[in-house]
Structure 1
Amino acid sequence: MSHSPDPDEDGLDTVPAPHPVFHVEQALLGALLLDPRHLGDVTGLSADSFSTAAHAALYAAISSLPPPDPDEHTKNTTWLNQVLVAGREQARGLTASYLHTLIQVCPWPRHAAAYARMVEAEHARRRLRAAAEHLVQTVHDASLPHPVETVLAEADALAAVVDDIAGRFPPRAGALPHTTLAPPTIVPDHVEAGEEEQLLLATATAYPADVASVRWLLPEDFTQPLHAGLWQCLTALTRRQEPVDPVTVLWEAQQRGLLGNASEPGDVLRLLAEPAGSVEHWGQLTLKRSLLATADHAGRRIEAYTDDPSNTPFQLVTGARRSLAQLGAIRTRWQHAIGRPLPQRRQAPTTRAGPPIRRAPTASPPPARPTAARAAAGRTP
């Protein structure tokens, strides 16, 4: 069992209390050690589903060893000794006393299936968080030769985890996660992004006929509100087929209320007066940055959902799918921007998930009385 030392003992910090799932895992393992026949009630778990190496090793040993004769199991500790030996191959710190503790802390062995479902739910949370963290890390990996393609591949891997969790946990009422999310605060390469957006706006002002070729670019792709507003001015003028130059764009900006203390008319005119390159080139760079920022925000939102222990697995699924849907929308626009489709993953079925499939327990004699098994466990060498 875990031990929380005195804060003054050898100057060590207090060991944090284990999470609730730790106690759930103890109850499940205790139920299986007490009555191994309940292993037939457990589905959807593997050794990786457990939060500690010791618990994973014990579950692997219990699952791999032939079950004992129920009557003999109440009389001796032979099978428990075998579990201990097998478990020590993966976790050398396992002791007979810990197996005894697991049996003692299990409230009701017949609740093994419920305990297993809880372990599976927490494992789903950890899997989802790991996939979201990997997506965020990939977004910020400056060494990638093809960042957009790699990030979208990670997003697909994250979506596959979401689909798997959705298949394991049927939907329930109140599926929306209730986690309060902070607004995104990270804007990568803010200075560089602003310079590229200025070049885009100036080039589009000089060559307004090219604005129609970048219809896939939207105001929300820009990192600065003024730039987003000026892009709206440009697209509105070209759509109305009115003259486009720095002065007409400035007048349109005034009509839209874009000019203020932070946006002097002279600054706007200078911003629009230095074209370079092509509209499509700068538009693609702006959209690329927007796509990566959207992926970053989606990953961080999903991380926030998984950090809230009150969210159920299906609430996590709902929140994750909504976050990834925003990335899917900008992905479609990116495909139009580069003129070729990117690999698309197969969409998950949209039908409601049914209840999990469980194996029927094999016929067996009536369960042994807990008191006898607990007494046998106490004789574990």
Structure 2
Amino acid sequence: MPHAPEPDDLDATAPPQPVFHVEQALLGALLLDPHRLGDVRGIAADSFSTAAHAALYAAITTLPPPDPAEHAKNTAWLDRVLATGREQACALTASYLHTLIQVCPWPRHAPAYARIVEAEHARRHLEKAAERLVQTAHDVSLPHPVQTVLTEADALAAVVDDIASHFPPRAGVLPRTPTPPPVLPADHTEALEEEQLLLATATAHPADVGHVQWLLPEDLTFPLHAGLWQCLTTLVRRHEPVDPVTILWEAQQRGLLDDPTEPGDVLHLLAEPAGSVEHWSERALQRSLLATAAQTGRRIQAYADDSTNTPFQLVVGARRSLADISAIRTRWQHATGTIPTPRPRSASPARAGPPPTPAVAASPAASRSR
């Protein structure tokens, strides 16, 4: 987020972010006409972008409102607001309170100012939740990375649902923010080796490929590996012979052998099986799920960081992005045999993303992968 003035720097020139000026206008309106607090909805002290503004709003909403006639005659109530606010932001000054009153264009517009503050708070909240998802997806120290990441994704979905309850999305209004490109992990040696073992083991045991139908080509990290997996699964589906040579021929038909890929390298890659198809497939799917979560978080961060997106657009864009996690979560549940029993419908707002997938019996693939 852009830097906002610290509480001890209130007299400095305000940064150009519009929300800072909106917050000043709202606080000025409430200081001038405290009775307008009854018209303000949807915000709290933590909705403000600076500690000083949050402290002032908390003081205004905590103290009993003054008598209008007395408030017009003296500054007694303003003095109490200042004293209460300084308990949280000690650098607040009387001159800053008077500045707030002076910069407020129209106190009667306080509800509109509050709505803008609420929208910007929603943007910041969404950005932080998306950032936490990205950080969690990249945390290699987690003992149970998939479950932890999915829990964080659920928390992000809850933030989106909360925003939607205040800013119901409008059909067809999508963010125009460019999608950030996928990021390949800095150390991808493990992915390279495991995907090669998957391809070689599946080539040696093609009958086991039918047990891992939940693994898709796009789950593999490297384009060549994804293409070879598609070649292999296509041969299995056609009930054609599967071995390194037939896969090599299928790869040529699909244009996978362009430079710098050498036929001999492909044959060598497919000729060294180890372990089981189910094990390497589950490893690839886990890696894909974490990468999908990280990419989803980055996309939502990009949406929230783009000030041209309205809250309505943020909700639509975030829900579409979270649908990618929902889809791969379902495949992970099939792979590991952890498909939950659907909960009864409630009157609460629908979760971000597509509806939950109905429970189905565990497939042979799930049983064999446990």
Fold shared per TM-score above 0.5 = yes
Runs of 4+ residues deviating >4 angstroms: 342-348
Match of 1:247 among 221, 245, 248: 245
**Residue identity opposite 1:257 in structure 2:** G
The answer on whether the counterparts of 2:56 and 2:85 sit within 8 Å (CA) in structure 1 is: yes
Shift of residue 186, structure 1, vs aligned partner: 3.1
Shift of residue 86, structure 1, vs aligned partner: 0.7
Which residue number in structure 1 is paired with residue 184 of structure 2?
186
Shift of residue 264, structure 1, vs aligned partner: 1.0
Equivalent position SS for 1:93: coil
Pairs within 5 Å for 1:124-143: 124-143=122-141
Identical aligned pairs, as a percentage?
A: 74
The answer on whether the counterparts of 1:176 and 1:315 sit within 8 Å (CA) in structure 2 is: yes
Shift of residue 182, structure 1, vs aligned partner: 3.0
RMSD (Å) for aligned C-alpha atoms:
1.8
Distance 2:172 2:274 in 1: 52
Distance 1:55 1:18 in 2: 16
Asked which structure has the greater RCO (Cα within 8 Å, sep 6+), the reply is 1
Pairs within 5 Å for 1:1-381: 1-4=10-13, 17-172=15-170, 175-187=173-185, 189-341=187-339, 349=349
Which residue number in structure 2 is paired with residue 359 of structure 1?
none
Cα deviation, 1:42-91, whole Å, max 9, x if unaligned, reads: 01111100111110010000001111111111111111111111111111
CA pair 132-260 structure 1, distance change in 2 beyond 3 A: same
Distance 1:295 1:194 in 2: 20
Distance 2:261 2:77 in 1: 78
Cα deviation, 1:245-283, whole Å, max 9, x if unaligned, reads: 111111111122211222111111100000000000000
Cα deviation, 1:80-114, whole Å, max 9, x if unaligned, reads: 11111111111111111111000000000000000
Gaps of 5+ in 1: 5-15, 352-381
Distance 2:120 2:39 in 1: 18
**Residue identity opposite 1:71 in structure 2:** A
Equivalences, count: 340
Shift of residue 225, structure 1, vs aligned partner: 1.2
Distance 1:174 1:325 in 2: 16
Cα deviation, 1:322-362, whole Å, max 9, x if unaligned, reads: 111011100100001111126989896459xxxxxxxxxxx
**Residue identity opposite 1:3 in structure 2:** A
Shift of residue 184, structure 1, vs aligned partner: 1.5
The answer on whether the counterparts of 1:187 and 1:223 sit within 8 Å (CA) in structure 2 is: no
Which residue number in structure 1 is paired with residue 354 of structure 2?
none
CA pair 325-96 structure 1, distance change in 2 beyond 3 A: same
Cα deviation, 1:98-147, whole Å, max 9, x if unaligned, reads: 11000000000000000000000000000000000000111111211000
CA pair 298-195 structure 1, distance change in 2 beyond 3 A: same
Distance 1:288 1:216 in 2: 12
Greater Cα offset, 140-149 or 255-264:
255-264
TM-score, normalised by the number of residues in structure 2: 0.88
The answer on whether the counterparts of 1:188 and 1:293 sit within 8 Å (CA) in structure 2 is: no
Distance 2:308 2:104 in 1: 24
CA pair 23-343 structure 1, distance change in 2 beyond 3 A: farther
Gaps of 5+ in 2: 1-9, 352-370
Distance 2:305 2:29 in 1: 29
The answer on whether the counterparts of 2:25 and 2:104 sit within 8 Å (CA) in structure 1 is: yes
TM-score, normalised by the number of residues in structure 1: 0.86
Shift of residue 296, structure 1, vs aligned partner: 0.3
Equivalent position SS for 2:73: coil
**Residue identity opposite 2:34 in structure 1:** P
Distance 1:37 1:117 in 2: 17
Cα deviation, 1:199-244, whole Å, max 9, x if unaligned, reads: 0000000000000000000000011111111111111111111111
**Residue identity opposite 2:100 in structure 1:** L
CA pair 155-238 structure 1, distance change in 2 beyond 3 A: same
Equivalent position SS for 1:74: helix
CA pair 36-344 structure 1, distance change in 2 beyond 3 A: farther
**Residue identity opposite 1:195 in structure 2:** E
Distance 2:342 2:21 in 1: 41
Distance 2:161 2:186 in 1: 30
Cα deviation, 1:259-317, whole Å, max 9, x if unaligned, reads: 12221111111000000000000000000000000000000001101111010011111
CA pair 134-104 structure 1, distance change in 2 beyond 3 A: same
